[in-house]
C-alpha cells in the first residue's frame, strides 16, 4: 500500500511507478512457478525459508536504495506486495500443504481460514503504517519480518513435505479454460490493485499515509471476515456459485467509485466493494487444487497464479499512465468492466463442473 507513495517521494514518475508495480505483480506470480519446482527438489520447508529471505531482500532494497533503477527492480524477488495476499511464491507451496493436511469435507472452510489468517496480518500491517512518519523505517520492519519468516518453516514437522511427486507440472489441459478466465479477471484487477487505489486516493483527494494505513487496514479486516463467510457459503451453494455471486456485485460497486464527490464517499464505496470482492479467493483456491491429482496441486496453483499475475501486471502500468494524465476514472472502469465479463464467463463455462469434494 505504501509502495506507490514511497516511490513517488523517491522521485519516480507515475509511469515508472506503474512499471515498478507491474514488475512486482509479474514476478510474484512467476516466482510461484519456481517455488513449486524447487519445493519438489529440495523440500517445502527449505523453499519457504528461501522465500522469506527474498522478502527481507525486498525490504532492504526499498528502505536503502536511492537510484531509480534499483527501486524499479525491487519487485523482481516477487515479494513487493503490490497486490493481495493471494499472490506470491508462498501460495503454491502453502496451498498444496493445506490441501493434504485437512479432510476433503473440511477443505472449503480450511481455505477460508487460511485466507482469514493472511488477511488479519495484512490488516495489522496496514495499521502499522500509521505509526511511521517516514516510510523507510516501515520497509526495514518488512525486511525484519522476512528474516523471521525464513526461520519459521525450519521449525515445521517433516509431515508438511508430503509424498514425493513424479511430476510437479502435469497435464494442464483441465485448467486451460479456467486459467484464461483468471487472466481476464487479473488484467482487470491490475487496474485496481491496492497500490494503484492508494495512489489514486492520494492523487485525487491528497490523502497521506496517516489515513491510507487505517483505511486499508479496514479493507483487510473486511476481507478477512469475508473469507470465513466464503468457506461456509461454499459448503451450501458450491464453489463456482460462491465465486460468481459475490464477485459480480463487487464490480458494480467498483464502477461507482470514480463518481465519488468526496473522500468519504470514495472510502465508503471502497469498503463496500472489498467486503465482497475477495470472497471468491478461498473458493478459487479450493477449486483449483480439487480438480487435479494430488502430486500436481502445487504446480496447478503456481501455473494459474502465473497466468493471473502476468495478466495483472499490465494493469498498473496502464493505470499509472491514466492517473498521470488525470484520467482518474479509467482504472476503475477498465477493471470493473473486465471483471464483470470474467464473472459471466466463469458461470457459463464452469457452473456444472464440480470439485472432487463437492456432492
CB neighbours (10 Å) of residue 15?
A: 14
User: Residue 93: inside a domain, yes or no?
Assistant: yes
User: Residue 91: inside a domain, yes or no?
Assistant: yes
The number of helices, as runs of H, and strands, as runs of E, in the chain is 15, 0
Helix (H, G, I), strand (E, B) or coil at 178: helix
Contact 251, 198 (CB under 8 A): no
User: Residue 11: inside a domain, yes or no?
Assistant: yes
User: Residue 357: inside a domain, yes or no?
Assistant: no
- Distances in Å between the Cα of 251 and the Cα atoms of 274, 331, 338 are 10, 12, 9
Q: How many domains does the chain have?
A: 1
Query: Which grid cell is 208?
Result: 497521506
CATH code of 225's domain: 1.20.1250.20
CB neighbours (10 Å) of residue 55?
A: 27
CA distance 96 to 35: 12
Domain hosting 284: range is 3-158+174-350
User: Residue 200: inside a domain, yes or no?
Assistant: yes
DSSP string, 69-96: HHHHGGGGGS----S-TT-SHHHHHHHH
User: Residue 169: inside a domain, yes or no?
Assistant: no
Per-residue model confidence as pLDDT tens for the chain (359 residues):
567 777 888 888 888 887 887 788 778 778 888 888 888 888 889 999 999 999 999 989 888 888 888 888 888 887 876 555 566 788 888 888 888 888 888 999 999 999 898 888 877 776 676 676 556 788 888 899 999 999 999 998 888 887 666 566 666 777 888 999 999 998 888 788 777 788 888 888 888 877 887 888 788 889 889 999 999 999 999 999 999 999 999 999 999 999 999 999 999 999 999 999 999 999 999 999 888 887 788 888 888 888 887 787 677 667 666 666 545 678 899 889 999 999 999 999 999 988 888 86
Query: Which grid cell is 315?
Result: 494493469
Amino acid at each position: 500500500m505504501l509502495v506507490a507513495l514511497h516511490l513517488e517521494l523517491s522521485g519516480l514518475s507515475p509511469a515508472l511507478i506503474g512499471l515498478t508495480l507491474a514488475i512486482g505483480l509479474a514476478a510474484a506470480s512467476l516466482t510461484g512457478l519456481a517455488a513449486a519446482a524447487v519445493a519438489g527438489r529440495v523440500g517445502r520447508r527449505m523453499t519457504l525459508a528461501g522465500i522469506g529471505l527474498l522478502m527481507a531482500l525486498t525490504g532492504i532494497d526499498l528502505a536503502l536504495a536511492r537510484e531509480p533503477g534499483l527501486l524499479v527492480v525491487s519487485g523482481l524477488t516477487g515479494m513487493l506486495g503490490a497486490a493481495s495476499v493471494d499472490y506470491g511464491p508462498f501460495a503454491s507451496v502453502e496451498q498444496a500443504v493445506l490441501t493434504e493436511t485437512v479432510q476433503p469435507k473440511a477443505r472449503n472452510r480450511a481455505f477460508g481460514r487460511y485466507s482469514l489468517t493472511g488477511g488479519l496480518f495484512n490488516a495489522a500491517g496496514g495499521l502499522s503504517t500509521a505509526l511511521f512518519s517516514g516510510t523507510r523505517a516501515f520497509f526495514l520492519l518488512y525486511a525484519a519480518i522476512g528474516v523471521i519468516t525464513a526461520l519459521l518453516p525450519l521449525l515445521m514437522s517433516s509431515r508438511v513435505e508430503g509424498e514425493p511427486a513424479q511430476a510437479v507440472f502435469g497435464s494442464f489441459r483441465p485448467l486451460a479454460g479456467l486459467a484464461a478466465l483468471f487472466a481476464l479477471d487479473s488484467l482487470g484487477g491490475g487496474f485496481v490493485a491496492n497500490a494503484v487505489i492508494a495512489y489514486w486516493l492520494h492523487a485525487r483527494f491528497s490523502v497521506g499515509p496517516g489515513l491510507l494505513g487505517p483505511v486499508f487496514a479496514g479493507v483487510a479486516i473486511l476481507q478477512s471476515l469475508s473469507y470465513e463467510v466464503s468457506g461456509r457459503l461454499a459448503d451450501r451453494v458450491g464453489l463456482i456459485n460462491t465465486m460468481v455471486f459475490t464477485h459480480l456485485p463487487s464490480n458494480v460497486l467498483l464502477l461507482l467509485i470514480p463518481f465519488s464527490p468526496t473522500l468519504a464517499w470514495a472510502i465508503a464505496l471502497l469498503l463496500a466493494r472489498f467486503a465482497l470482492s475477495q470472497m471468491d479467493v478461498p473458493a478459487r483456491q479450493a477449486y483449483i487444487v480439487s480438480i487435479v491429482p494430488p502430486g500436481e496441486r502445487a504446480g496447478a496453483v503456481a501455473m494459474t497464479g502465473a497466468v493471473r499475475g502476468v495478466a495483472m501486471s499490465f494493469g498498473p502500468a496502464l493505470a499509472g499512465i491514466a492517473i498521470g494524465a488525470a484520467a482518474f476514472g479509467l482504472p476503475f472502469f477498465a477493471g470493473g468492466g473486465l471483471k464483470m465479463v470474467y464473472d459471466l464467463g466463469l458461470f457459463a463455462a464452469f457452473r456444472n463442473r464440480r470439485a472432487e469434494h463437492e456432492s
